[in-house]
Structure 1
Amino acid sequence: MTDHQNSHGQPTGHPVPGWTTRPVPPATAMTGRLCRVEPLVPGDHAADLFEANREDAGGLNWTYLGVDGFTELAPYRAWLDKMAAGADPMFHAIIDLATGRAVGIASYLRIDPANGVIEVGHINYSPRLQQRPAATEAMFLMMRRAFDELGYRRYEWKCDDRNLPSRAAAQRLGFTYEGTFRQALVYKGRNRDTAWFSILDGEWPSVKSAFERWLSPENFDAAGRQKQSLAALRSA
């Protein structure tokens, strides 16, 4: 595809024929084989999430989040009430289908229907979800809604530039690193340089195909170990 040009012959960018404003994500569940991602309802999810997060005894999961970990259920429930009250960020609980319990949260945020741009963030996976296939499936379900169901053009991931696990997760999931915004934020009394990653709609078909092959039961042995990595399947 080539750029259009104006009357002076200057390039004006790739055309987006027939573009219309995209819908806002619906407040409905996304269900996979291993997990369900559903709108956060503190009354339903807070106790499960608090209990699951208690397995993170050192509170490391909260290092790069905007608040510190909670040692009591009541303030955690109050924080979830606040987070779930708005439409953007749109918080979701991640339910382990094997147990029916909430084991993590993630949200859509900076939702921009006019331009077809949406971000995933506020991700907090308890130890019960970390490094398990359901953790990957949850991200796939949220991407699939954004691209296939709603027709968004750009899906973003941002994190503290020092958050090496988050950077690695973004790249494993198929995001492309775009650069770092220096001194973008101050939080917890310290500077945050923010690393930006994205997946575009034109890249989504190959990213989606790799997810589907990776999540297939045939890609795991009897002990639950992957046979091929997500990156290898994407390369293939």
Structure 2
Amino acid sequence: MPLNLYRPPPGLTAQDKLHETTPAGEYDLNFVFPVPEELRSEGAVLMKPLVPSEHAEVLFNQLVKYPDMFRYLPYTFTTLPQFYLFLESNRREPGTILFVVYDLSLTFPDGDGEGEGEGEGDKEMDKRRVAGFLGLIKGSEQNRSAELAHLNILPPFHRSHITTHTCSLLLQYLFSTLHLRRAQWYSNAFNSPSIAAAQRLGFRLEGEQRWERVLAVGKEGLELPAWAEQEEREMGRGPGRHSCVLGMGWDEWKEGGEEKVRGLMKREVSKRREDELKR
């Protein structure tokens, strides 16, 4: 009989290099496709590749204020080391890239967001503008496809232009810059706002995958069948998740999708004062 010598790879630990202090110029994004220095929607959002030494602490300090935003996500962050582990585990996946999001529409009582520096870049990347992060996963050069994922927009920036513009910029990057054939979006089947957001961008609901994901113990999800519950819990496995699959092809992008996204991004972006956000 043939051998099977497979052993699960060791998981990351806090002893691994997590790049807490690695400068941006030395940080390897490790992404399968060329990475832009930035993605920008004038007067609306700025997206930069997420670098832990520059962005992790700022993001974490905001994310932990809103535990409810992780309701439908397969992960939750409660400590900064956990967040560094999350970022490094994603960096090691060549099909994954994460971007930090800045809201360019904010104004400030002390001026126009000068921040700690005096240059235009310092104004744009003032920490008070950080609206969350999102990215791409399952990027495949062979199949010319990628998935929009890790949509973590902070609640004070909900019901604004942020989600529409960030996702639209990613779609433009995938189809108009990289010329991929497919973009997809997975959502917890119970997360109707996520499904609606994808459809508003032009994604088409393609179906539902039952028991698509095993969730961590303690996460909200599908109850385990009585006949499997004891064994699954002894194995440290949590509840399950049905996932909706939404997709967009390069043909759909060319036949109205690109125009639809441009139309969404042309809508007026209302300026808001940073001190009026309910953080």
- Which of 31, 39, 49 is the matching residue for 2:49? 39
Q: Which residue type is aligned with residue 137 of structure 2?
A: L
Count of residues paired in the alignment:
197
Change (3 A) 1:195 1:134: same
User: Does structure 2 conserve the Cα–Cα contact (< 8 Å) formed by 1:55 and 1:127?
Assistant: no
- Which of 131, 136, 139 is the matching residue for 1:103? 131
Q: Which residue type is aligned with residue 244 of structure 2?
A: A
Deviation at 1:195, TM superposition (A): 0.8
Aligned to 2:165: 137
User: Does structure 2 conserve the Cα–Cα contact (< 8 Å) formed by 1:158 and 1:195?
Assistant: yes
Alignment RMSD (CA, Å): 2.2
Structure 1 ranges of 4+ moved more than 4 A? 221-224
Q: Which runs of 5+ in 1 are unaligned?
A: 1-22, 225-236
TM-score of the aligned structures, taking structure 1 as reference length: 0.75
Aligned to 2:248: 199
- Which of 182, 186, 198 is the matching residue for 2:210? 182
Q: Does 1:210 align with 2:260?
A: yes
Larger displacement relative to structure 2 (191-200 or 89-98): 89-98
Q: Could you say which structure has the higher strand fraction?
A: 1
Aligned to 1:18: none
Aligned to 2:268: 220
- The structure number with the bigger radius of gyration is 2
User: Does structure 2 conserve the Cα–Cα contact (< 8 Å) formed by 1:178 and 1:197?
Assistant: yes
CA distance in 2, matches of 1:127, 1:55: 10
Change (3 A) 1:26 1:83: same
CA distance in 1, matches of 2:150, 2:257: 22
TM-score of the aligned structures, taking structure 2 as reference length: 0.64
Identity %: 24
Change (3 A) 1:44 1:177: same
Q: Which runs of 5+ in 2 are unaligned?
A: 1-31, 107-112, 114-124, 217-237, 273-279
SS at match of 1:128: helix
SS at match of 1:110: strand
Deviation digits for residues 196-227 of structure 1, max 9, x if unmatched? 001111111322222222322xx338788xxx
